[in-house]
């Protein structure tokens, strides 16, 4: 016991202070650049520069008067919600299959599904653009959504897999033995248990789609999503203040959703483990 304590003291406390300082420095570098977006969004100057002369909410007000922004927001939400629902449903089936059943070639299948996490999105965007074009399908919000599903599926499955690993299949079997058919077993036993995973997956995939730019860039038609709108505005220096205001709202909204998603996704998992 005392030996362990010495080791702990040795190991955990010796380099502690400088490492801790480094950790806070790391977090600072991680967040500081992003924080300049909200900071300057309240600056009354047209240009991003110090010193900040005055503070204003004018740019946020301008935002509401731009129908293009509201349209882009509506488009992004539509794409995001559909992508979140489709990829979460597909994710539930796939995660259940991968955890519950002995499937030939499971390793390669998982690798294939997770591929979009690593492969540069430009590759998928370009390849999908070629196919859509060859089939004569016009570029629209639908083609953007198709691209987003490829990117969101790995996130949905990665969020849902631990859920299926975390609970006892015997509960499903018990329900089946008690005479529930498989659809009801799924609906009344499986879904409630994995519900936190479903909510987390919906939140995370929605945000990924909501903020996704590269796929939308290649697969988008005349209807813009929010990131496409922001991209267009970035060429116009005079539009920077409004972009900063819009960016602040997007970041705030995304941070909130992802934080909730990650919390819900993990918290439930810990609870399930505790119960065992």
Partner 1 sequence: MTVTSELNAPAGADKTAFAGLRRLFFQNESLRGLVLLTPTLVILSITVIVPFLLMGAMSLWTQIGFDYTDDWSFRNYGIILTEPLYTTLLLRSLGMSMAATLVTVMLAYPMAYFLAFHVQKNKLIWLIIITLPFWTSYLLRVFAWRVVLGYEGVINTGLMEIGLISEPLSFLLYSKSAVIITLAHAWAAFALLPIYVSLEKIDKSVLEASADLGEGPVMRFLRVILPLSMPGVIAGTFLMFIPTVGDYVTAALVGGPDSRMIGNLIELQFGTVDNWPMGAALAITMIISITMVGLLFMVLSRLLKRWVAA
Number of residues near partner 1 (by CB under 8 A): 97
- Please say whether the beta carbons of 159 and 91 come within 8 A: yes
Q: Of 2, 4, 67, 222, which one interacts with partner 1 (CB under 8 A)? A: 4
Closest approach of partner 1 to the CB of residue 109, in Å = 7
- Please say whether the beta carbons of 35 and 188 come within 8 A: no
Residue 55, beta-bridge partner list? 43
- Scan residues 69-88 and list those touching partner 1 (CB under 8 A): none
Question: Does residue number 273 form part of the binding site for partner 1 (CB under 8 A)?
Answer: no
- Scan residues 13-52 and list those touching partner 1 (CB under 8 A): 14-16, 19-20, 22-23, 26-27, 29-34, 36-37, 40, 47-51
Q: Decide whether 16 or 58 has the Cβ nearer to partner 1.
A: 16
Q: Of 42, 59, 124, 164, which one interacts with partner 1 (CB under 8 A)? A: 124
Closest approach of partner 1 to the CB of residue 227, in Å = 5
Which residue in this structure is represented by tokens 């058919």?
A: 181
Question: Does residue number 238 form part of the binding site for partner 1 (CB under 8 A)?
Answer: no
Question: Does residue number 208 form part of the binding site for partner 1 (CB under 8 A)?
Answer: yes
Question: Does residue number 55 form part of the binding site for partner 1 (CB under 8 A)?
Answer: no
How far apart, in whole angstroms, are the C-alpha atoms of residue 227 and residue 251? 12
- Scan residues 251-270 and list those touching partner 1 (CB under 8 A): 251, 254-255, 258-259, 262-263, 266, 270
- Enter the DSSP assignment of 115: G
Q: Of 77, 81, 109, 139, which one interacts with partner 1 (CB under 8 A)? A: 109
- Scan residues 164-203 and list those touching partner 1 (CB under 8 A): 176, 179-182
Among 77, 205, 188, residue whose Cα is nearest residue 151: 205
Burial 163-193 (b: 16+ CB within 10 A, else e): bbebbeeeebeebeeeebeeeebbeebbeeb
Question: Does residue number 146 form part of the binding site for partner 1 (CB under 8 A)?
Answer: yes
Any residues with CB less than 8 A from the CB of 213 and at least 6 apart, and which? Answer: 227, 228, 231
Closest approach of partner 1 to the CB of residue 242, in Å = 13
CB count within 10 Å of CB 22 equals: 11
Q: Of 1, 3, 64, 238, which one interacts with partner 1 (CB under 8 A)? A: 3
- Please say whether the beta carbons of 41 and 248 come within 8 A: yes
- Whether the ω angle into residue 197 lies within 30 degrees of 0, i.e. cis, is no
Q: Decide whether 64 or 183 has the Cβ nearer to partner 1.
A: 183
Question: Does residue number 271 form part of the binding site for partner 1 (CB under 8 A)?
Answer: no
Burial 216-245 (b: 16+ CB within 10 A, else e): bbbbbeebbbbbbbbeebeeeeebbbbbbb
Closest approach of partner 1 to the CB of residue 14, in Å = 6
């Amino acid at each position: 016991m005392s030996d362990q304590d010495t080791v702990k003291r040795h190991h955990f406390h010796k380099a502690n202070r400088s490492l801790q300082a480094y950790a806070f420095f790391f977090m600072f570098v991680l967040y500081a650049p992003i924080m300049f977006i909200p900071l300057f969004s309240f600056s009354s100057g047209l240009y991003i520069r110090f010193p900040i002369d005055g503070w204003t909410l004018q740019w946020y007000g301008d935002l509401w008067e731009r129908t293009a922004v509201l349209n882009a927001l509506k488009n992004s939400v539509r794409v995001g919600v559909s992508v979140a629902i489709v990829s979460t449903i597909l994710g539930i089936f796939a995660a259940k299959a991968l955890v519950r059943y002995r499937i030939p070639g499971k390793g390669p299948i998982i690798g294939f599904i997770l591929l979009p996490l690593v492969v540069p999105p430009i590759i998928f965007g370009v390849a999908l653009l070629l196919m859509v074009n060859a089939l004569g399908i016009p570029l629209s919000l639908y083609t953007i959504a198709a691209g987003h599903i490829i990117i969101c599926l790995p996130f949905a499955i990665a969020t849902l897999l631990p859920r299926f690993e975390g609970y006892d299949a015997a509960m499903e079997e018990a329900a089946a033995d008690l005479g529930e058919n498989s659809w009801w077993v799924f609906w009344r036993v499986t879904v409630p248990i994995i519900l936190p995973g479903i909510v987390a997956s919906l939140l995370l995939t929605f945000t990924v789609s909501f903020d996704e730019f590269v796929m939308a860039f290649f697969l988008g038609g005349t209807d813009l999503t929010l990131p496409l709108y922001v991209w267009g505005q970035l060429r116009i220096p005079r539009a920077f203040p409004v972009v900063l205001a819009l960016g602040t709202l997007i970041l705030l909204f995304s941070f909130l959703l992802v934080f909730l998603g990650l919390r819900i996704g993990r918290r439930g998992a810990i609870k399930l483990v505790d119960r065992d």
